[in-house]
Chain A
Amino acid sequence: MAKGKLLTPGRIMLLVIVLLLVVLGFFVEDWHQLWVISSTPDNVPIVAMIPLVIFFTWLGARQAAANDRLVEELEGDTQLAKTHHRKTTPWRPGWARELHVWPFLVRIEFLAAVIVTIILFVWSITLNAPLEEPANPNLTMNPSKAPWYFLGLQEMLVYFDPWIAGVVMPSLMMVGLMVFPYVDSNPLGNGYYAYRQRRFALWMFGLGWFTWLVLIFIGTFIRGPGWVWFWPGQRWDHNVVVNDRNVDLHDKFAGWTGLKFLSANPGKFIFGAIVVGTFFLLCGLFLHWLMLRPQFEWRRMFSWQYLKQWARSKGEFESKLLARTSILQYLTFQFFAITVLFALPAKLILRLAMNIKYVWVTPWFNI
């Protein structure tokens, strides 16, 4: 960090967060409500998640940046690069080439275990398990919320049919995660924090991860009685009345264009298939284009010239990687990336912003 510089990226971030909170404060009509949600023992992990995620993201980014610098140094030092095989991993002269598990790993793990134990102790002493109403088959609690780790899944139910949201999408996500090592043809960036060596993978994973966090956040703080959308700080009114009229995309389209056959059975099937197909095609092209881009220099992000140049040029490293990837690996990756990382947020936005119920209606499934 440069000395004497007033605005470092970290400070800017901090400032932005504070400003956001202040602005939010103006819109909060009921602090008590906000406090009730945040202080519910159920929600403690999620409340804690917000600073923790920020902190660890920052920590990881810092570590990655440091390692990137080291790798750069190594690569710049031809002498060392020739004699030393560690050219692509962060290393410095004087550092051990290999470390023993004992004591170097175990002691850190032990430390972590102690810290976690302390946290668990304090947590369990100070916060009791929440007591809620007794189970009553005739009376569902309202809002009826899953535990925090399932809130993302529950929130997905708003956007998809239960079959899709509850079975298909989670399976795709999990299979996608399992497939990851097999479609990854990048030998670098394993076992240490690094950014440059896995830029694309990091961004893709970050997108999915962020989506999931957002879903949990929505489920916790936004969804009130009746699973109605309440902005943070808005009072959760049990008597709230909303009029959500969701329309299928083909109906909307038929309405715009006057093409009545789109609302009929084969018409809407074909329409939906085309829309989804197009979406996949466009997303595939976009991904293909994106994964071949060289590293983006954020410093020059406001320069139109640079942007144009960046969009046209190909990254050498990225091209190599693509060349190492088989077609099967490539298509598998494309499929999972598009369905999980693009289709899901796209549907979310369609539903929330445009009240679109389904995009593709078929007799067997609706998406």
Chain B
Amino acid sequence: MADSPETDAIIKKEPEGPAPDPIVSRSTSGILLICALLLSAVLAWALYDEIYGQRPWKSMQQEFVKRENRLLRRLRQNAGKTEKEIKESPEYQQLAAEAKAERDKIAPRQKEIDARVKVIEDQLSSITDNYQNVRGAITVNYYEIETAHGKSEQDKIRQEIEESKQEKHAIEWPIGDGSGKVEKRQLNYMEMEQQYNGLKDEKARLLAERGELLKKPGELEKAREEYLKNNVTGLTTEQINSLLKRNESFNFSMRQVNVQGDTLVDRCETCHLGVREPLNITAADMRPVRDRRLRKADELSRAFVSHPNKELLTIHNPDRFGCSSCHGGNGRATTNEEKGHGRHRFWLHPLYERENMEAGCQQCHMSDRELLGANVLNLGKDLFQNRGCVGCHRYEGFDRESDALANARQSISQLEEQIAANEREAKQATEGVGQAANEDAVQKLLARSEYLRVTNSQLAARISQLETQSKYLMHDQKKVGPNLKDVRLKLRKEWIPIWLENPQAFRPGTKMPTYWRIDGKSMRSDEAGQREEMSREVNERKAIAAFLWQQGFDGKLPGMQAGDASHGKELFETRGCMACHSIGDKAQGTEVGGDFAANLTRVGEKASFDYIVRWIYNPRERWAPYCPKEKRDLTREDYEKKGLPFVFDTEHSTCPNDGAELQIQNMTVMPNFRLSESDSRDIATYLFSLSHRDSYPDASYMDDPALKEQGQNLVKQYGCAGCHEIRGFEEEQRIGKELTTEGSTPIERLDFAMLTHDAELGINPHSERREGEGEKFTDPQTGKVKPWYNHKGFFTNKLRDPSVYDKGKEKEPKDLLRMPQPFLKPEWNVALTTFLLGSKGLEGSNVPQSFFYRPDTRQKDIQDGWWVIKKYNCMGCHNVQVGQKSVLSGLPKYQDSDWKDQLPPQLTSEGARVDPDWLLRFLRDPSLSDSEGRPEPGRSDKTVGPTPGAQTNNYAEGTQKSGQTNQTNQTNGASQPAANAQPPSTPLAQRIEGHLKPQPGQDRNGVRTYLKARMPTFNFSPNELRTLVRFFMAVSSQPEIYIKEKQEPLSEEEKILARQLFTSRGAPCLKCHITGEAEHDKTASAPNFLLASERLKPSWTFRWLLDPQQISPGTAMPSGLFKLDGERWVFSGETPAGFANYHKDHADLLVRYMFQMTADEQRRLMSTSPAATGGQSPAPTEKETPAANQQVSRNYSRRNNARRRVMAAHRLAAARRAHARLQKPSRMHQRAKLARE
């Protein structure tokens, strides 16, 4: 470009000048070139960044396709292959060899055990009959004693018992050397019992050892099967080919799920491509393609796996829910892992760590106490409730009774205020009539006052409703710890300070947390000794002990004789105590039993024997009633002032002073086992025999009134009343923070105190360290340092050491963190952390609120029911849920097949089985006693006497003496009206001082009288009863409104036919089913038919008769009793002659007969039945008749034959499989076979 002439002129003007113009003369092209090149390079960089740098998922997708193709090709080789061919592959062979080697290794020992068990079984069977006969006879004798009239008769029977115990029995004792030889022995009952128990114990031990041995090979075999399963994909070649084809033209693009419009946008599947693939992809399958030698899964291969629980995905379809709603994380982000997983410090919903995965469930399923499949979360909830967290920390839904009670009380007081205000207004209106100006105004005023009065009566009705509710709520209110008002009665004085010092030392694993500061340490343990004033804190423990001691009820317990410890041991192990309690030393690994309640090994060291007997006898009985209105415990004087007897129970639960609803039960969940007094003594004796009393240092300071006030302040400070009932602290509020939305607390609001910096650097706060240095938390997989400045880190470390955030703080002792040190296993810590992480509340949740689980009526019933079931630990004894194992079923004792029959019934289909009305009555009183406390199993009328709760609590008077009153001799119980409530059959003379009050329904099980484990009386309130019944009905999908099915009455001929069938050799029903006759019942092990009409549902009974194994696998009831003959079911055994002309359904006939069974009818049957007195067992059912092969669906209805046929056809294949499973004959069948041989 030519310059303008002017410029040229300027330049030319001074051509020879010494200094050319720096601007004009200088060329910028060099620098321009460099800049242009740079710009181009940067532009290229920007393009690359745009296409790949910001879209790392593209290369991931390519990698995925590569790896999946390899997997698919491998699978295609196997796709045609049968299982057999895969089994021949070297990989499989190697796995199989490993498993076999392990199995061979244990084989000798296993053989040894099996041989020994065989011998034991032989020996057992040689004495079992004799032993059980005598035991049965003695049991009958006991019963006779109890019902006998007169002492002489009783003594006579006692004599008989003694004789039968001493009587020698000839036993053919297998010597067990393998030769099959027997030696003759003469044994009496005691010796037999000893042998019997000894052998049983040994057998249980051996079986447990065997189980342990089999674990390792079992795992290896599982790995082998896993390999097989992974290689037999279940995909056909075509399916695999179509997947490969898809991969050929793979659509490399963003995969996005929009949840609810765009509330959540999840692009997780952009990288996690395998999540929903139709085949099962593991990390090992997706290991790097090039990396053949290492065979090591890298990070990418872990990202490509398919979802481990496909079933969950069908419930929570990712198209609807997305991923991040459950897992957390930032679903939108695709630029890198840190952002996508929401690990950025400001992202509110970081991806839950693997072990805390189930926190995501809690967001929507907050009100579910038990969530299928979320075991960690469930454990967290269990711990939160059972370990007493809820004592200090409110959490919505937990401890609902206390919350509801507070609400009800508030509403009542509001309503009362409103009533008073209305009344005032009405009065003013009426008075205003006099001054009214005209007729109109008068009318208006009168109408107004009338309206107000009507309103008031409505309000009053509402109040009375609320009062009833509060009554129930108060009834259901429970505390985690024992009632400390009873310490004087219950505990050894010197033991209390020892316990307070370190509960874990006395009873490892106890719920009681350690208050480390009480232990003479004002500061954290690692800083102890740095401060001078800490020595004064030693007094804290003394002061608390003194306060509790002086605040307790005083009185004298009925003195108790020691009982029979061995009988007590048997009772303890068989009645069901161990579903909640454990025995043995945790440290030595000998602990056996449930962990719902305390380990009782050392109870003898601390408690008073008399109190424990009284407690075992009836734990709900309170020493003195508590009036919430006056806020104090009532004394005998309160009652005497009003001229009332000192009686408090469900019938006498109003305060004599102001009519308020009284607290008359201990706030414990421990139920009443309806044990006899002597049994209670035996159990207590057994427990006391487990330990011996140490002597403890003198604790006379506990009577020092000077310590009381300090103690009171400390009890308040430490929030003891959260878990314990303490006098004067009944209305105490929780001292901890509410945790309902703890998981969504902004991180800035979590006080890491001096550890913020350490947390950011990942320094372990629990390690001993110098300032600013220390051991760091590292990721076990990658070895990277893991900072813990996040919610998880806060919760985990706080739970591990609740005082950790006091570290390095300079605080007054009273300002220190108050949370005590709980006993938490590492997995418990994880569970609780998971629970807290998921506790996000409505606002803090990642999930749109419309996704929250808000169940309909039936699901709601289930949800509500779980709270009650968990509260009382029903799952300690029963299987409530399919797949769940009760605590009892895991105990060594019940591993024995003989004892398996003694397990309490499974409740998985309870709702379908029983009549809800009956269930309600049964739950109210499991002994099914009548109003007088006598057993009455066949009662058909629905009149229920005073609730058993009324009776079980009705012996507050008598021997006890209330707190501060002087002793009054209470032998004269007859002078009190309450005596009327006592069963009249109890002679008043027996109720002398030193005896406990009679126990209604004592020693009785309502349904399964043959069970040793006893369904205890829980004293449910009507609220809880209803909740439970609705729960069982809902779980079994029963219609909400229950209408009893009408039964077609039996004609006379039908009756005769039914009788014949009932007593035929093919179906000796009465052999196993109890009848109420003691002699017969000792061998019977099935419920009484008299109960059927009330208890069962006919439709269920019909299904049950057809195939009990399907409804309750492992039941002793034989299957295949009926075969399908055209449209009807006929008896598959030998049919009595009269049936030739009978064309109706046989099973239906039996059901109708059963439901119309009366006691007379049963007696009549008994007299004719050969089976009832020990005839042949039911007909063999393994005959290969087509009908026996035909399985019966649970959904069968007798009335829907067409449907039945269709379904029978549809389910044929399934049935075949099920049948194969059932080929293993039940014990009953085995016996039958043996008998035939």
Contact = CB atoms under 8 A, between A and B. Distances in A.
Q: Is chain B a partner of chain A in the same complex? A: yes
Interface of A: 32, 92-100, 103-104, 107-108, 110-111, 114-115, 117-118, 121-122, 125, 131-134, 136, 139, 142, 235, 237-239
Contacts of B22: 95
Contacts of A133: 346, 348, 746
Contact of A239 (B19, B348, B753): B753
A93 B748 contact: no
A117 to B, nearest CB: 6
Nearest to B751: A239
Given A94-B14, A110-B32, 18 more contacts: A93-B18, A94-B18, A95-B20, A95-B21, A96-B21, A96-B23, A108-B28, A114-B32, A125-B45, A125-B53, A134-B346, A139-B748, A139-B749, A142-B748, A237-B757, A238-B756, A239-B753, A239-B754
Nearest to A126: B49
B35 A125 contact: no
Given A93-B18, A93-B19, A114 B756 contact: no
Nearest to A136: B746
Contacts of B1: 103
A121 B45 contact: yes
B50 to A, nearest CB: 9
A131 B4 contact: no
Nearest to B38: A118
Contacts of B35: 111, 114-115, 118
B24 A96 contact: yes
Contact of B24 (A99, A139, A238, A239): A99
Contacts of A237: 756-757
Contacts of B51: none
Contact of A235 (B19, B39, B757): B757
B284 interface: no
A82 B754 CA distance: 77
Contact of A125 (B49, B344, B348): B49
A94 B42 contact: no
A118 B39 CA distance: 6
A114 B11 contact: no
A98 B10 contact: yes
Contacts of B49: 125
A260 to B, nearest CB: 39
6 contacts: A32-B761, A93-B14, A93-B18, A114-B32, A118-B39, A133-B346
Contacts of A117: 39
B43 interface: yes
B7 A100 contact: yes
Contacts of B28: 107-108, 111
Interface of B: 1, 4, 7, 10-11, 14, 17-24, 28, 31-32, 35-36, 38-39, 42-43, 45-46, 49, 53, 339, 344, 346-348, 746, 748-749, 753-754, 756-757, 761
Contacts of B43: 121
B748 A239 contact: no
A339 to B, nearest CB: 39
Contacts of A103: 1
B746 A114 contact: no
A139 B746 contact: yes
In order of increasing CB-CB distance, the 7 nearest A-B pairs are A94-B17, A133-B346, A95-B21, A121-B42, A114-B35, A96-B21, A92-B19
A131 B43 CA distance: 25
Contacts of A111: 28, 31-32, 35
Given A111-B31, A114-B39, A139-B746, A94 B45 contact: no
Contacts of A125: 42, 45-46, 49, 53
A interface secondary structure, majority: loop
Given A118-B35, A125-B49, A131 B346 contact: yes
Nearest to A120: B42
B344 A118 contact: no
Contacts of A122: 42, 45
A93 B18 CA distance: 7
A32 B24 CA distance: 50
Contacts of A107: 28, 32
B756 A100 contact: no
A67 to B, nearest CB: 12
A97 B23 CA distance: 11
Most chain B CB inside 10 Å of its own CB: which residue of A103, A115, A118: A118
Contacts of A114: 32, 35-36, 39
A238 B42 CA distance: 41
Contacts of B39: 114, 117-118, 121
A235 B49 CA distance: 36
Contacts of B32: 107, 110-111, 114
B53 to A, nearest CB: 7
Nearest to B35: A114
B36 A94 contact: no
Contacts of B749: 139
Given A125-B45, A125-B53, A94 B20 contact: yes
Nearest to B43: A121
Nearest to A95: B21
A98 B46 CA distance: 41
Given A117-B39, A118-B39, A96 B746 contact: no
B754 to A, nearest CB: 7
A94 B19 contact: yes
Contacts of B7: 96, 100
A181 B237 CA distance: 86
A103 B1 CA distance: 10
Contacts of B10: 96-98
A117 B40 CA distance: 11
Contacts of B348: 133-134
A250 B224 CA distance: 89
A352 to B, nearest CB: 27
A125 B754 CA distance: 37
Contacts of B38: 118
Contacts of A98: 10
B945 to A, nearest CB: 58
B407 to A, nearest CB: 27
B904 to A, nearest CB: 52
A93 B15 CA distance: 10
A31 to B, nearest CB: 12
A330 B350 CA distance: 63
Nearest to B40: A118
A238 B747 CA distance: 12
B30 to A, nearest CB: 11
A312 to B, nearest CB: 40
A130 B754 CA distance: 27
Contacts of B18: 92-94
A133 B521 CA distance: 40
Nearest to A139: B746
B24 A118 contact: no
Nearest to A36: B760
B267 to A, nearest CB: 17
A134 B7 CA distance: 60
A337 B163 CA distance: 122
A95 B35 CA distance: 28
A50 B330 CA distance: 36
Q: Which of A32, A92, A110, A237 has the most CB of B within 10 A?
A: A92
A96 B32 CA distance: 23
A109 to B, nearest CB: 11
B344 A99 contact: no
Nearest to B335: A128
Given A121-B42, A122-B42, A131-B344, A104 B746 contact: no
Nearest to A107: B28
A111 B45 CA distance: 20
Nearest to B746: A139
Contact of B346 (A95, A132, A235): A132
B23 A99 contact: yes
A272 B868 CA distance: 74
B42 A100 contact: no
Nearest to A104: B23
B346 A93 contact: no
A122 B35 CA distance: 13
